[in-house]
Amino acid sequence: INHTVSAGETGLTKIVKEISPAVVTVFRYNMNKQVTGMGSGFFISKEGQLITNHHVLAGAFYAEVKTINGDIYPITRIVAESKTADLLKVVVDIPENKVKWLILKDTLPLIAERVIVIGTPLGLEHTVTEGIVSAVRFIPGRGEFFQMSAPISQGSSGGPVMNTKGDVTGISTFIMYMGQNLNFAVSSREIGNLTDDINLSLSEWALGESRNHPGMAEKLCENDVSFTVEGKTQKALEYYRDKTTKMPKDHM
């Protein structure tokens, strides 16, 4: 394992130095290659598999990641998702010798356990915060989450939450604005529940997602541009035909 902190090392500085190369900023683009949002993510294998939040890439027709040293690589495939746990596993087109990845812990953190978070809050790349686990909660219909005092903000979504050994215990997911230090992460155990049963390009996946969102057809036709991402014209035509049949009032 090429990134684990050695047993004799202690302190936030050494841990963060080891794990930061595995954490990326995720940029989301529309079909006109305009940035529509950003979030965070992290590699979990040398093959370039990356974990982020489902909502980070929702509606994206193109996406790429930026590493700590400034290199940029495209997200090419969607391989697994969980809307309920807000998780997405994707593949990044990155050389194996450039990948640093993190280890997933398969147990829930303890209350008062110290945690470290790396992400891109409000566009501030590779921001590090730390705190403790405030509570562990099971949200019916969604899965295992935990509350933490480590601050996160918009853009932190999808970033790793780690213990003091550098292992991933959770993924930054959402905050509650009606209070202070109400920050939540989905347990890393939920990543283990993902099934790699998807093999779609990002544009194909976005096309399928749009079927479940009335009004998305308007976005696909924005500025009178035909949906031709990756040359999937026939798929676009099939979608439009299906859309107008099932939802005739959802005009394009």
- Render pLDDT for 140-188 as a digit per residue (tens, 0 to 9): 888 999 999 999 988 899 999 999 999 999 999 988 876 666 899 999 9
172 is catalytic: no
pTM of full prediction above 0.85: no
- 116-149 tens-digit pLDDT: 999 998 889 999 999 999 999 998 888 999 999 9
Q: Which of 3, 45, 55, 201 is the catalytic position?
A: 55
pLDDT surpasses 70 at 38: yes
Which of 74, 120, 125 shows the shortest CA–CA distance to 95? 74
- Name the catalytic one among 82, 157, 172, 203: 157
CB count in 10 Å sphere of residue 34: 9
**55 classed as catalytic:** yes
Q: Are strands 49-52 and 35-43 parallel, antiparallel or unpaired?
A: antiparallel
- What's residue 173's pLDDT? 94
Nearest CA to 186 out of 140, 152, 136, 151 is that of 136
94 pLDDT more than 60: yes
Distance CA 231, CA 154 (A): 33
**pLDDT tens, 220-245?**
333 222 333 344 445 544 544 554 44
Q: How many CB atoms lie within 10 A of CB 86?
A: 24
**In this predicted structure, what is the pLDDT of residue 206?**
85
CB within 8 Å of 248: residues ≥ 6 apart = none
Could you tell me which residues are beta bridge partners of residue 52?
Answer: 88
pLDDT band, residue 8 (cuts 50/70/90): very low
pLDDT band for 41, please (50, 70, 90 cuts): very high
Whether pLDDT at 215 is above 90: no
Tell me what percent of the residues of the chain surpass a pLDDT of 70: 77
User: What amino acid occupies position 6?
Assistant: S
HSE value, Cβ hemisphere, 13 Å, CA-based, for 100: 17
Active site residue 71: no
Q: Return the bridge partners of 28, or none.
A: 37, 63
Nearest CA among 202, 209, 194 for reference residue 239:
209
Q: What is the mean pLDDT of the chain?
A: 83
pLDDT at 6: 45
Distance between CA 250 and CA 182 in Å, rounded? 38
102 touches 44 (CB < 8 A)? yes
> Looking at 86, 156, 167, 187, which residue is catalytic?
86
Q: What is the mean pLDDT of residues 31-50?
A: 95
175 Rama sector, left if φ>0, alpha if ψ -120 to 50, beta otherwise: beta
Q: Rounded mean pLDDT of 7-22?
A: 79
Tell me the mean pLDDT in the region 96-115.
Answer: 95
